[in-house]
């Protein structure tokens, strides 16, 4: 499984493949947004993220999102996370060309 953290105000994505990584959820945000992307939820998750109901902005309630991408293949999971970032970049110019780092 890959956990991908996407930040809007500081446009970047951080990938985590170690589920025990202490950096995952480090800030402990109370209303942390998480979107599960799996085989059964793939189409729904992409629709949710691309839809008008999903917002990103500078306000703390909408400034980030965690993607929980699980396909049993780390390479494919990373490709899916990168694809989602590109999709969001179509709506949010700030995310175009955002850096992507692998933490673990």
Asked if the model's pLDDT at residue 5 lies above 90, the reply is yes
Q: Kindly tell me if the per-residue pLDDT of 27 is higher than 80.
A: no
Q: Is there a domain that residue 62 lies in?
A: yes
Question: How many C-beta atoms lie closer than 10 Å to residue 84's C-beta?
Answer: 22
What are the CB-based long-range contacts (under 8 Å, 24+) for 78-84?
A: 78/2, 78/15, 78/102, 80/37, 80/42, 81/2, 81/4, 81/13, 81/15, 82/13, 84/4, 84/6, 84/37, 84/46, 84/49
Asked if the structure places residue 103 within a domain, the reply is no
The first and second tokens of residue 11, run together, are 């446009």
In contact, 37 and 80? CB cutoff 8 Å: yes
Q: What is the pLDDT of residue 69?
A: 98
Q: What is the pTM of this model?
A: 0.92
Does pLDDT of 29 surpass 80? Answer: no
Domain count, the chain: 1
pLDDT digits (tens, 9 = 90+) for 34-93: 999 999 999 999 999 988 889 999 998 999 999 999 999 999 999 999 999 999 999 999
Question: Would 102 be classed as within a structural domain?
Answer: no
* Residue 17 in this model has a pLDDT that exceeds 90: yes
Residue 101 domain flag: no
Query: Could you tell me the residue range of the domain that residue 23 belongs to?
Result: 2-96
Q: Tell whether 104 is covered by a domain.
A: no
With respect to residue 72, please indicate whether it lies within any of the assigned structural domains. yes
Residue 47 lies in a domain: yes
């Amino acid at each position: 499984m890959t956990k991908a953290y996407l930040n809007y105000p500081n446009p970047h994505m951080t990938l985590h493949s170690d589920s025990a990584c202490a950096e995952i959820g480090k800030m402990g945000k109370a209303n942390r947004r998480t979107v599960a992307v799996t085989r059964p939820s793939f189409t729904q998750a992409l629709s949710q993220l691309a839809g008008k109901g999903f917002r990103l902005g500078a306000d703390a309630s909408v400034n980030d999102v965690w993607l929980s991408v699980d396909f049993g293949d780390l390479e494919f999971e990373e490709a899916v996370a990168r694809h989602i970032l590109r999709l969001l970049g179509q709506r949010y110019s700030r995310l175009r060309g955002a850096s992507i780092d692998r933490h673990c």
